[in-house]
Amino acid sequence: MLHVPGFKPYYDVIIVGARCAGAATALLLAKGGMRVLAIDRHGYGSDTLSTHALMRPAVMQLSRWGLLEPLIRGGAPVITSTTFHYGKEEVAIPIRSELSIPGLIAPRRTVLDRVLVDAARDAGATILHDVAVQDLNVDVDGRVRGVVLKDADGRARTLAAGHVIGADGLGSMVARKVQAATLISGRASVAHIFGYAAAPELSGYHWYFQPGVSGGMIPTNNGLACIVASVPTSRFDTEFRCNLSAGRLSALMALAPTLARHAAAHDVGRLKAFRGTQGMLRQAHGRGWLLVGDAGFFRDPLTSHGISDALRDAEGAALAILSGSASGLARFQNERDSLALPILEATDAISAFDWSLAELPERHKRFSDAMKAEIAVLTSRSARDQVIPVAPTTARPPAVAAI
């Protein structure tokens, strides 16, 4: 039998996927008083592909939700500068600190996703791990009415919901089942090969660029740094794929020989790789469904903005549902598109690797301008925060019900 803690026969919202997009959406909807169930096929606190670097929009939102402090207390080092290395030229930029935001952070996903899940549970959401959603329940008029799970006996179980949210990542089952339209496709695709080493004696984020290759050093939990090399997918397929370790080392040697030697000497664990895929922006909502996170918008990880996008759209979707209006949903789509498009375009301009080192800073400035517009919207949302009241913390549902 599949056991669902605190199971209810009907949920206001069921969310497929419970990582940064899904758990954040569950948190905000539960704070708004909704009955929420989020379901993830992976385990509580499990890892996923990520190089962890949070940009300011993500940190702002985590701070507003009261989660930045626990993440810092949990061991994510505070990042107070970011240094761009254009060939031999270094441009160091201090991170502006505010009362509630001492700097940026790059928590491991085993930590960040867990903190979001715990906060969602504390707000009253039910989160179910190690269970895959098999299908959507769609009525004769084509409106999504719930989800279909399989219990331990292999029998299909249907759970009903007012809205189903796809927070199920790049290969979203929800997007596929509802046939969400692709509004825009990106043009660049980059492969990323990364691993962890004892953090070197370098302060803050470091981003390295040479024609055709880039890399990064990102301090994270447990005294480790994530060290990543990135190349166009076409180059990954021909030169890197058959030997990740040699490929990453040669890329890092071209970018930063001292960092390359450090990684070679201090790497812990196995390297991970993401082959890359082009970006895309999908229709954000339809009859009974919404998409958040990578399910709705994917841009290359090279600009480290996926988690910021996920948290922003989690909040946008939650505000739309809580508004209970068609105009709220339309606003979610419009606002997301107006922010996501410049982010996608600026990310593609960097990920295309068609720049010279002299041209690249201007492309980074375009990306920074897109983030400034996003920060302005997030700031104006915080003025509307009363829409999502911070409900008194409820105890996690202790009951275990069977379905």
Ligand X SMILES: Cc1cc2nc3c(=O)[nH]c(=O)nc-3n(C[C@H](O)[C@H](O)[C@H](O)COP(=O)(O)OP(=O)(O)OC[C@H]3O[C@@H](n4cnc5c(N)ncnc54)[C@H](O)[C@@H]3O)c2cc1C
Q: Which residues are at the interface with ligand X (CB under 6 A)?
A: 16-17, 19-22, 39-42, 48-54, 132-133, 167-169, 173, 192, 274, 293-295, 301, 304-308, 310
Task: Give me the residue label for tokens 């899940």.
Answer: 117
Query: Phi first, then psi: what are they for 37, rounded to 5°?
Result: -125, 125
Specify the long-range contacts of residues 397-400, CB closer than 8 Å, at least 24 apart: 397/5, 397/6, 397/121, 397/124, 397/126, 398/5, 398/6, 399/5, 399/6, 400/3, 400/4, 400/5
Q: Which CB sits closer to ligand X, 48 or 100?
A: 48
Q: Which CB sits closer to ligand X, 190 or 319?
A: 190
**At its nearest, how many Å lie between ligand X and the CB of residue 96?**
19
Q: DSSP 3-state assignment of 169?
A: coil
Per DSSP, the residues of 61-111 read HHHHTT-HHHHHHTTPPPB-EEEEEETTEEEEEEPPP-SS--SB----HHH
Strand-pair category, 10-16 with 156-166: parallel
**At its nearest, how many Å lie between ligand X and the CB of residue 391?**
23
Decide if 321 contacts 13 (C-beta within 8 A): yes
Q: CB-based burial of residue 398 (10 Å sphere; 0-12 exposed, 13-18 middle, 19+ buried)? A: exposed
Strand-pair category, 3-5 with 289-291: unpaired
Positive or negative: CA dihedral 304, 307, 311, 314: positive
* Residue 91 token pair: 């441009």
**At its nearest, how many Å lie between ligand X and the CB of residue 46?**
7
Q: Which CB sits closer to ligand X, 34 or 62?
A: 62
**At its nearest, how many Å lie between ligand X and the CB of residue 259?**
17
**At its nearest, how many Å lie between ligand X and the CB of residue 314?**
8
Q: Which CB sits closer to ligand X, 33 or 81?
A: 81
Q: Which CB sits closer to ligand X, 132 or 373?
A: 132
195 strand-pairing partners:
227
Q: Which CB sits closer to ligand X, 132 or 391?
A: 132
Q: Which CB sits closer to ligand X, 260 or 295?
A: 295
Strand-pair category, 10-16 with 36-39: parallel
Q: Which CB sits closer to ligand X, 16 or 320?
A: 16
Cα angle value 372/61/190 (rounded, 5°):
65
**At its nearest, how many Å lie between ligand X and the CB of residue 243?**
18
CB neighbour list of residue 4: distance below 8 Å, 6 or more residues apart: 37, 126, 128, 400, 401, 402, 403
Q: Which CB sits closer to ligand X, 270 or 384?
A: 270
133 strand-pairing partners:
149
* Residue 178 token pair: 């509802």
**At its nearest, how many Å lie between ligand X and the CB of residue 310?**
4
Separation of alpha carbons 357 and 90, rounded Å: 12
**At its nearest, how many Å lie between ligand X and the CB of residue 317?**
11
Q: Which CB sits closer to ligand X, 261 or 267?
A: 267
**At its nearest, how many Å lie between ligand X and the CB of residue 161?**
14
**At its nearest, how many Å lie between ligand X and the CB of residue 381?**
19
Q: CB-based burial of residue 198 (10 Å sphere; 0-12 exposed, 13-18 middle, 19+ buried)? A: middle
